[in-house]
């Protein structure tokens, strides 16, 4: 069904400017998505705020259509003061969830345009010693909202042993700081050995060491996408040179559907649950003030739940407390009451 209908996929790229984001996106999808890009000078960047830009392309391969949306975050990490510069990115992701939530609650639910962000490629500089504070802050702020796939940018600037060491260090730091990046699903135990090996290699490639290039060069009589240096050619699609092919396969072939499923089942569900919780709280508050009418000026006209008694409201408040302070011991009253009701 999906093949017939075509796929849509939204990919976000984030990371400091100059790390090769646009070059990699162009290399991944072989289209020039950044024709009209305007680069700012140093002075303009001092007070720059993070912008969010969106480019959409329709790609067709062997009759299969893909509507690809690339969301870029120019300006991220560029200003002198980068405090909370991840905020506009987080707001953008929430806005897409909110739009989807509204559409889903509306009348025409059949043709909802899904603009939710399915994956965020986060570019890590190859020049630092592992993660920088801004990287940690960004990933921690967004890991509950989007599937983060970290990539080690411009891997051709590192030797193979440096790449290996950096990957280990970055993986350790991700663990140490409690960052929840996208987890590849485990493969079934009855899969064949080749498949299991591929799966293991994919998991050990994190962060994918990538190289991008907008030029085609000649290597051993073949024309390939690569970077020409006085000492040789780096081939983007050569898996001995970098993880570009692994990343591309993962994104467009093997894990696209899983990235969409996790977005829908985990990240969007989290958002939805929070939304409903705060809406319930709003209703309770309004009722307490005895002002709630069907026409109350809320954006979401929430129907008054029949049979919401003072007791139920009390329970909702207690449940709320439980969610906010899970470690706090429940008093016997809460337990005995809550077993008797389904909220
Ligand atoms: P963006 O600001 O993150 O979108 O970065 P760009 O894609 O504009 O790239 C910035 C500069 O880095 C350009 O001069 C690119 O040619 C160069 N560049 C891009 N990708 C790579 C790479 O993989 N390796 C190296 N060495 N340079 C790269």
CB atoms within 10 A of CB 285: 12
The pLDDT of residue 295 is 54
Distance 213 CA to ligand 1 centre (A): 8
User: Which residue has the least CA distance to atom 27 on ligand 1?
Assistant: 154
Residue 8 carries which DSSP code?
Answer: E
User: Average pLDDT in the 204-227 region?
Assistant: 90
The CB of 27 under 6 Å from ligand 1? The reply is no
State the average pLDDT for the chain.
82
Q: Is residue 225 within a helix (H) or strand (E), and if so which, with residue range?
A: strand 222-229
Q: How far apart are CA 124 and CA 15, in angstroms?
A: 7
User: Which residue has the least CA distance to atom 17 on ligand 1?
Assistant: 20
Domains annotated for the chain, with CATH where assigned, are: 7-280 (3.40.50.300)
pLDDT band at 310 (very low <50, low <70, confident <90, very high): low
Distance 123 CA to ligand 1 centre (A): 11
175 vs 188, more confident: 175
Distance 183 CA to ligand 1 centre (A): 27
Please count the helices (runs of H) and the strands (runs of E) in the chain: 12, 9
Sheet holding 208-209, edge to edge: 53-61, 64-72, 7-14, 119-124, 148-152, 208-209
pLDDT band at 6 (very low <50, low <70, confident <90, very high): confident
Distance 40 CA to ligand 1 centre (A): 15
The CB of 226 under 6 Å from ligand 1? The reply is no
| Cα-based angle 74, 76, 77 (whole degrees, multiple of 5) | 140
The CB of 18 under 6 Å from ligand 1? The reply is yes
Q: How far apart are CA 1 and CA 169, in angstroms?
A: 42
Q: How far apart are CA 174 and CA 144, in angstroms?
A: 14
The pLDDT of residue 73 is 84
Distance 143 CA to ligand 1 centre (A): 26
Place of tokens 């030797």: 159
36 vs 205, more confident: 205
- HSE at residue 251, side-chain half, CA atoms within 13 A, is 29
Distance 33 CA to ligand 1 centre (A): 14
Cα–chain center distance at 84 = 17
Least confident of 128-137, 158-167, 332-341: 332-341
What lies within 8 Å, CB to CB, of 41 at 6+ separation is none
What lies within 8 Å, CB to CB, of 167 at 6+ separation is 152, 205, 206, 207, 209
The pLDDT of residue 342 is 39
Q: Is the bond leading into 207 cis (omega within 30 degrees of zero)?
A: yes
The CB of 17 under 6 Å from ligand 1? The reply is yes
334 vs 170, more confident: 170
339 vs 197, more confident: 197
The pLDDT of residue 104 is 86
Q: How far apart are CA 81 and CA 112, in angstroms?
A: 39
- Contact (CB, 8 A) for 53 and 89: no
The CB of 96 under 6 Å from ligand 1? The reply is no
- Contact (CB, 8 A) for 156 and 241: yes
153 vs 194, more confident: 153
- The three-state secondary structure class of 66 is strand
Residue 307 carries which DSSP code?
Answer: T
The CB of 125 under 6 Å from ligand 1? The reply is no
* Residue 11: closest CA among 270, 247, 227, 242: 247
Instruction: Give the mutation target among 13, 17, 18 for probing the ligand 1 site: most ligand atoms within 8 A of CB.
Output: 18
Predicted confidence (pLDDT) per residue in 79-136, tens digit:
777 777 788 899 999 999 999 998 888 877 777 888 999 999 999 999 999 999 999 9
The two structure tokens encoding residue 75: 């300006």
């Amino acid at each position: 069904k999906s093949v017939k209908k075509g796929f849509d996929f939204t990919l976000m790229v984030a990371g400091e400017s100059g790390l090769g984001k646009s070059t990699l996106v162009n290399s991944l999808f072989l289209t020039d998505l950044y024709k009209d890009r305007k680069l700012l000078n140093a002075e303009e960047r001092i007070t720059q705020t993070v912008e969010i830009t969106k480019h959409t392309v329709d790609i067709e391969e062997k009759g299969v259509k893909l509507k690809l949306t690339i969301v870029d975050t120019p300006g991220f990490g560029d200003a002198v003061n980068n405090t909370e510069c991840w905020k506009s990115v987080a707001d953008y992701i929430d806005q897409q969830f909110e739009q989807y939530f509204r559409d889903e609650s509306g009348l025409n639910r059949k043709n909802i345009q899904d603009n939710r962000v399915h994956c965020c490629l986060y570019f890590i500089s190859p020049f630092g010693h592992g993660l920088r504070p801004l990287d940690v802050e960004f990933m921690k702020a967004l890991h509950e909202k989007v599937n983060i796939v970290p990539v080690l940018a411009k891997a051709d600037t590192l030797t193979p042993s440096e790449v290996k060491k950096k990957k280990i260090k970055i993986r350790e730091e991700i663990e140490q700081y409690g960052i929840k990046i996208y987890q590849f699903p485990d493969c079934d135990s009855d899969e064949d050995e080749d498949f299991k090996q591929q799966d293991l290699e994919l998991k050990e490639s994190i962060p994918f060491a990538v190289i991008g290039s907008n030029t085609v060069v000649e290597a051993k009589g073949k024309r390939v996408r690569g970077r020409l240096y006085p000492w040789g050619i780096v081939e983007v699609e050569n898996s001995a040179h970098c993880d570009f092919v692994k990343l591309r396969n993962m994104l467009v072939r093997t894990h696209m559907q899983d990235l969409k499923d996790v977005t829908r089942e985990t990240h969007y569900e989290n958002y939805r649950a929070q939304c409903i919780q705060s809406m319930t709280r709003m209703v309770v508050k309004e009722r307490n003030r005895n002002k709630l009418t069907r026409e109350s000026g809320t954006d979401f006209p929430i129907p008054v739940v029949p049979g919401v008694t003072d007791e139920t409201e009390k329970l909702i408040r207690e449940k709320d407390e439980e969610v906010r302070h899970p470690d706090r011991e429940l008093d016997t009253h809460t337990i005995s009451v809550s077993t008797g009701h389904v909220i």
